[in-house]
Amino acid sequence: MKGLESLIGQRFDKLEVVEQAASTASGQRRWLCKCDCGGSCIATTGNLHSGRTTNCGCRKSPDLTGRIFGKLTVLGRSDQRNARGSRTTPMWECRCTCGAITYKATDTLKNSATSMCSTCAGKYAAESARRAAGFVGGTQITKIRDMKPAAANTSGVRGVYYEKKSNKWRARLRFKGKTMSFGSYARFEDAVCARKNAEKVYFGAFLEENGLE
């Protein structure tokens, strides 16, 4: 019976079990736990009982609240998690200089030279690629106007692809015969947002400069 007990409501150090989560592939039961820091995590019965999992991961990560990374100011820990293979990492709630709220993992903040929200990242990437690419010829206006998802697309949104290897959504844009990447995102809607912004910057300016809009 021990193996089937419900842990809901039980406390393990900083964690309180909220509900049962999907079991592991090998059948180990897992639980969604709320951490005292406001974060959350999913842990197996075994790891909770043995004390291997005692917090959401916040003990290992120093508090970044108030710190500034690029355009982002960290507002505090969030209960959002970033999927990374079989485990998830806690994310920080950040405010971008444009006012948008975005969620970033600790190492993303620390390792990225330019931290910003996906909207600003889309603009930034588009602008630098545009500068690098110059701005003549190659782009088919009819294709810009007829922006249906390509047949081989898996997401239903043109230029947004799911990459199995990284478990992420990638935003791309083909412009003037070149395919440009606008980042990879855990959340589908962030990739769509990046793609849309790239479209605005590229195609909008292109149509305008060519007197087509």
Q: Which residues bind Zn ion (CB under 5 A)?
A: 35, 37, 39, 55-56, 58, 96, 98, 100, 117, 120
Calpha distance 201→100 (Å, rounded): 18
Contact present, 172 and 159 (Cβ < 8 Å): yes
Question: Nearer to Zn ion by C-beta: 73 or 153?
Answer: 73
* Cβ at position 59, least distance to Zn ion in Å: 7
Question: Nearer to Zn ion by C-beta: 118 or 139?
Answer: 118
Question: Nearer to Zn ion by C-beta: 16 or 162?
Answer: 16
* Cβ at position 95, least distance to Zn ion in Å: 9
* Cβ at position 166, least distance to Zn ion in Å: 23
DSSP labels, 79-142 = EEEEEETTEEEEEEEEEETTS-EEEEEHHHHHH-SS---HHHHHHHHHHHHHHHH-S-S---HH
* Cβ at position 13, least distance to Zn ion in Å: 10
Question: Nearer to Zn ion by C-beta: 78 or 153?
Answer: 78
Calpha distance 24→26 (Å, rounded): 5
Contact present, 93 and 66 (Cβ < 8 Å): no
* Cβ at position 126, least distance to Zn ion in Å: 14
Instruction: Give start and end residues of each alpha helix (H) in 137-184.
Output: 141-145
How far from 85 is each of 82, 112, 168, CA to CA, in Å? 10, 20, 10
Question: Nearer to Zn ion by C-beta: 96 or 126?
Answer: 96
Q: What per-residue string of b and e applies to 34-51 under the rule 16 or more CB within 10 Å gives b? A: bbebebbbbbbbebbeee
* Cβ at position 139, least distance to Zn ion in Å: 26
Calpha distance 107→115 (Å, rounded): 11
Calpha distance 206→139 (Å, rounded): 9
Question: Nearer to Zn ion by C-beta: 59 or 143?
Answer: 59
